[in-house]
Amino acid sequence: MVMTPYVIAFLKFYFIFTVIVMILFAIRHFIFTFNRMYCEQKLYYQDIIDSDLPFITVLIPMHNEEKVAHGVLDALLESNYPVEKFEVIPINDFSEDGTKEILEDYAVRYGNIHPLHRNSGERGKPAALNRAMEMAQGEIIVVFDADYLPGKGLLENLSTAFLDPEVGAVMGRVVPVNTKANFLTRLLDLERSGGYQVDQQARYNLNLIPQYGGTVGGYRKDLMMGTDGFNTKILAEDTELTYRLFCSGWKVLYANSAECYEEAPEAWHIRARQIARWSRGHNEVMFRYVWKLVKSKYLSFWQKLDGMFLLFIYMMPVILFFGLIDSILLFFLDEMDILEGWWVLLFLGAYNTFGNFAPFYQVGTANVIDGSRERILLLPYLAFNFYFYLWFITKGFFNALVDVLTRREAKWQKTERFRKEKPGGFT
Amino acid sequence: MKKEILKKQIQYSRTYRYIEMDKINVFLGVFLSIIPLCLLVLFYYPQITLFISQFTMKVLSPIFHENVLAIESSDFLKWFGPVYYLSLPGRFPSIVFIWLNLLITLISLFLLSSVVKTRPLTIFLSISLWVHVCSAIFFTFIPEYFPYDATEYSSLYIKQQVGIYFFVPIIIGIAVCMLPINFVKSWITIAFCAVYSFIFGIVRYITFMFILSKVSLMYMASLFFSFGPFIDFLYLVCIYSFLASSTADKLKRNKGVWRW
């Protein structure tokens, strides 16, 4: 078939480019896994005992959260943090179910719960957090999503980080609570382990870029208020905060000991929406922060490099998706002799994207450290997630691209909850 | 009164634990099994591919007429010799066969997208089916431009397989070196993966050659993209997961190996 040499050359170039990107990510994850398994770990500040704890404000954005609102509030009320040292602001963001009534009931019964009801203005988590920060009394803001179940010592554990004046934000570890619900939640548990036990901890160990994840984490209020709060046009306010802090010289800590339970999505279509939304938000941040990261005078070369990898993490499936199309074209154009073929691409692609952008041995190692014998046996099933992420993350990327090019406003989509509430508790 | 939740056993803290690497063990276990296997593939792939081709010819010969099958060779890596592969006739699809395939594929795609569109397995199948649709369209409109016959594909497959044989010990070796196991176990695992991939590669070669020669060349793209290295990855991870699981179990009962 007649095809210009330039087109063929471009297709081959793209193929080689994809392979190189995959190799770079493979090296990065090998270093992380090796560091986490075999090197001394950098401890968090959990052993520091200070009687002068800061006053903290806990923000919980909620949109139609009647199934889970009791859970998070009850868990916080059980906290061992001195009651006079913290307040809780559950943010009822345009809820249409019974969330408002639940919050009012708690407000009547407990003096440190001050609900914020929002029925006008911009919608979404960043806007809700901005509004709540205006009424927050605490100098430290701790954020939980509504489906989270913080343990007794978690607030103290997280707030200790801020005794270090260089710390701008802290992030804890997320552990799914509903792992036995179905196959999907078990797989997500497996992935989360790889993401936190190895990835985040290794980045913390190596003094790279641990990420603030928007929940089970905290930050200094004045840093946000001084810069007009969260950008309400961005879906991934957590990633944006991470880069904003690092680029202006602040530290973000990862507290592996600060574990908190969450409710993982129990249906594939909800997971698909969630991952597409994360991709959209993360890629928006990528478009905005690539240059700022390169120019930052506060970051070392390795931090910039890792920051770049992290910024581009949701681009990887997109690059692979085009790599797949590229390979199909090369196949039909009789050009599959390049590097003897598709196997290099697929091998390295699958190698990197098993689990949540982690190679299979990273997820496996994390679970060995966690001591989860049975969970590891599910590892081969993550292979098919490679295609799942390829599809939905690419979708999210194109949405982000359109958002940036057309200045379209992204709408926040709530993740559906599954918890079956029982009177006085939850299952 | 609140119900107290009591744990039967308090596990060792998992948060910051790590293992002190036994460098000699890792060296013996990984490098001394990866390097010999890779060198074996590199220096003996002409013999290996000749054996595969001869074996495949023996298996397929009862199905074909005499003198149709032959073994050919082509250049591969300059310093290490040629690869050998089976030469055989391919079967070009008739237009009715193409349209029937296209129809069935499109119906399958429709069913997949309307019933369970967000499952990983569905997406994997959908991508595979789309590749088959591309193939069917290609054979409908420009069949004369289809660039491969069964023999060319056979050559491509064998070259790809040599690549897989080379990389399997490396990838499983990297994974295994992250596990605190003795070197004998590492050797066994890496060797087992290499043997498995060797046998699997031959079985797949025979199957692919049979389909392309006796059913249709139209399936070439689907076979190449859907049942190629991805499947190799799957069994590799299966074997790794069994090993990692048993390691996690042993470490649970062996506090001595952990450092905090």
Facing A342 at nearest CB: one of B15, B20, B225: B225
Name the residue with tokens 């840093």.
Answer: A223
How high is the pLDDT of residue B257?
86
Facing A328 at nearest CB: one of B134, B156, B178: B134
Q: What is the pTM of this model?
A: 0.90
Evaluate whether residue A348 is within a structural domain.
yes
Span B141-167, mean pLDDT?
Answer: 90
| pLDDT above 70: residue B4 | no
Q: Which residue range(s) make up the domain with A198? A: 1-42+182-212+240-251+263-407
Name the residue with tokens 């066994």.
Answer: B188
CA–CA separation, A320 vs A348, rounded Å? 10
3-class SS of residue B259: strand
| pLDDT above 70: residue A340 | no
How high is the pLDDT of residue A342?
57
Span A87-98, mean pLDDT?
Answer: 92
pLDDT digits (tens, 9 = 90+) for B48-107: 999 999 999 999 998 887 688 999 999 888 888 899 999 998 888 999 999 999 999 999
Query: Domain extents for chain B?
Result: 22-90+149-259, 92-147
pLDDT digits (tens, 9 = 90+) for A31-50: 999 999 999 999 888 777 76
Query: Please, is B162 exposed, middle or buried when counting C-beta atoms within 10 Å of its C-beta (0-12, 13-18, 19+)?
Result: buried
Lowest pLDDT segment from A61-75, A348-362, B111-125: A348-362
Contact between residue A130 and residue A93 where contact means Cβ atoms under 8 Å apart: no
Span A322-337, mean pLDDT?
Answer: 84
Q: Using an 8 Å CB-CB cutoff, list chain A residues near B123.
A: 384, 387-388, 390-391
Contact across the interface for B248 and A372, Cβ inside 8 Å: yes
Lowest pLDDT segment from A52-56, A294-298, B253-257: B253-257
CA–CA separation, A396 vs A413, rounded Å? 13
How high is the pLDDT of residue A426?
40
Q: b/e map of A129-162 (b: 16 or more CB within 10 Å)?
A: bbbbbeebebebbbbbbbbbbbbeebbbbbbbbb
Cβ of residue B82 closer than 8 Å to a chain A Cβ: no
Closest by CA to A360, choosing from B122, B236, B164, is: B236
Of A26-30, A357-361, B63-67, where does the model show the most confidence? A26-30
- Nearest-CA distance B141 → chain A (Å): 12
Which ipTM value was assigned to this complex?
0.88
Name the residue with tokens 């993350």.
Answer: A393
Contact between residue A281 and residue A236 where contact means Cβ atoms under 8 Å apart: yes
Number of domains comprising chain A: 1
Report the phi/psi class of residue B183: left, alpha or beta, with left for phi > 0 and alpha for psi in -120 to 50: alpha
The count of other CB atoms within 10 Å of the CB of residue A170 is 29
Q: Using an 8 Å CB-CB cutoff, list chain B residues near A341.
A: 156, 159-160, 163
Cβ of residue A415 closer than 8 Å to a chain B Cβ: no
**Nearest residue on chain B to A34, judged by CA atoms?**
B178
Contact across the interface for B19 and A38, Cβ inside 8 Å: yes
Cβ of residue B118 closer than 8 Å to a chain A Cβ: yes
Cβ of residue A373 closer than 8 Å to a chain B Cβ: yes
Cβ of residue A275 closer than 8 Å to a chain B Cβ: no
- Nearest-CA distance B252 → chain A (Å): 6
CA–CA separation, A5 vs B57, rounded Å? 38
Name the residue with tokens 């039909």.
Answer: A332
How high is the pLDDT of residue B78?
80
How high is the pLDDT of residue A352?
66
Span A159-182, mean pLDDT?
Answer: 92
Lowest pLDDT segment from A316-325, A409-418, B35-44: A409-418
Span A241-268, mean pLDDT?
Answer: 93
- Under the banding of pLDDT at 50, 70 and 90, the label for residue A1 is low
Contact across the interface for B18 and A36, Cβ inside 8 Å: yes
Span A67-95, mean pLDDT?
Answer: 93
Specify the higher pLDDT residue, B149 or A427. Answer: B149
Closest by CA to B180, choosing from B256, B231, B126, B107, is: B256
What rounded mean pLDDT belongs to chain A?
A: 88
Task: State which amino acid sits at residue A16.
Answer: I
Q: Using an 8 Å CB-CB cutoff, list chain B residues near A382.
A: 237
- Under the banding of pLDDT at 50, 70 and 90, the label for residue A391 is confident
Cβ of residue B42 closer than 8 Å to a chain A Cβ: no
140-179 of B, contacting A, C-beta below 8 A: 142, 145-148, 156, 159-160, 162-164, 167, 171, 174-175, 178-179
How high is the pLDDT of residue B9?
64
Cβ of residue A336 closer than 8 Å to a chain B Cβ: yes
For B86-154, give the secondary structure using H, E and C. Answer: EECCCCCCCHHHHHHHHHHHHHHHHHHHHHCCCCHHHHHHHHHHHHHHHHHHHHHHCHHHCCCCHHHHH
How high is the pLDDT of residue A336?
73
| pLDDT above 50: residue B249 | yes
- Nearest-CA distance A207 → chain B (Å): 16
188-207 of A, contacting B, C-beta below 8 A: 197, 201
% of chain B at pLDDT higher than 70: 94
Q: Could you tell me how many CB contacts below 8 A there are between chain A and chain B?
A: 172
Contact across the interface for B18 and A41, Cβ inside 8 Å: yes
Name the residue with tokens 């590097």.
Answer: A339
Contact across the interface for B121 and A383, Cβ inside 8 Å: no
Q: Using an 8 Å CB-CB cutoff, list chain B residues near A379.
A: 237-238, 240-241, 244
Distance of CA B122 to the CA centre of its chain: 20
How high is the pLDDT of residue A48?
73
| pLDDT above 80: residue B17 | yes
Span B12-36, mean pLDDT?
Answer: 85
How high is the pLDDT of residue B86?
94
- Under the banding of pLDDT at 50, 70 and 90, the label for residue A211 is very high
Q: Using an 8 Å CB-CB cutoff, list chain A residues near B148.
A: 334
Span B2-8, mean pLDDT?
Answer: 58
Span B131-147, mean pLDDT?
Answer: 91
Lowest pLDDT segment from A194-198, A208-212, A400-404, B73-77: A400-404
**Nearest residue on chain B to A349, judged by CA atoms?**
B230
How high is the pLDDT of residue A425?
39
| pLDDT above 50: residue A423 | no
Contact across the interface for B163 and A340, Cβ inside 8 Å: yes
Span B29-53, mean pLDDT?
Answer: 92
Cβ of residue A48 closer than 8 Å to a chain B Cβ: no
Q: Which of the residues A206, A391, A394, A427 would you substitute to probe the B interface, choosing the one with the greatest number of B C-beta atoms within 10 Å?
A: A391
Lowest pLDDT segment from B122-126, B207-211, B245-249: B122-126
Span A11-37, mean pLDDT?
Answer: 90
3-class SS of residue B71: strand
Instruction: Give bridge partners of residue A251 from the DSSP assignment.
Output: A167
Q: Using an 8 Å CB-CB cutoff, list chain B residues near A422.
A: none
- Nearest-CA distance B255 → chain A (Å): 12
Residue spans of alpha helices (H) in A110-170: 125-135, 154-159
Q: Which of the residues B113, B115, B123 would you substitute to probe the A interface, choosing the one with the greatest number of A C-beta atoms within 10 Å?
A: B123
Closest by CA to B173, choosing from B160, B163, B187, B184, is: B187
CA–CA separation, B241 vs B69, rounded Å? 40
> What is the DSSP code string of A206-264?
TTS-PPP-SSSEEEEHHHHHTTTSS-TT-S-HHHHHHHHHHHTT-EEEEEEEEEEEE--
pLDDT digits (tens, 9 = 90+) for B178-201: 998 888 999 999 999 999 999 999
How high is the pLDDT of residue A382?
86
% of chain A at pLDDT higher than 90: 52
Span A181-202, mean pLDDT?
Answer: 93
Span A74-99, mean pLDDT?
Answer: 92
| pLDDT above 90: residue A247 | yes
Q: b/e map of A207-239 (b: 16 or more CB within 10 Å)?
A: ebbbbbbbbbbbbbbebbeeeebbbbbbbbbbb
215-234 of B, contacting A, C-beta below 8 A: 221, 224-225, 228-230, 232-234
- Under the banding of pLDDT at 50, 70 and 90, the label for residue A77 is very high
Give the helix/strand (H/E) hosting B158. helix B150-176
Contact between residue B237 and residue A375 where contact means Cβ atoms under 8 Å apart: no
Cβ of residue A183 closer than 8 Å to a chain B Cβ: no
| pLDDT above 70: residue A134 | yes
How high is the pLDDT of residue A103?
94
Span B3-12, mean pLDDT?
Answer: 62
Q: Using an 8 Å CB-CB cutoff, list chain A residues near B160.
A: 340-343
| pLDDT above 70: residue A410 | no
Task: State which amino acid sits at residue A58.
Answer: V
- Nearest-CA distance B139 → chain A (Å): 11
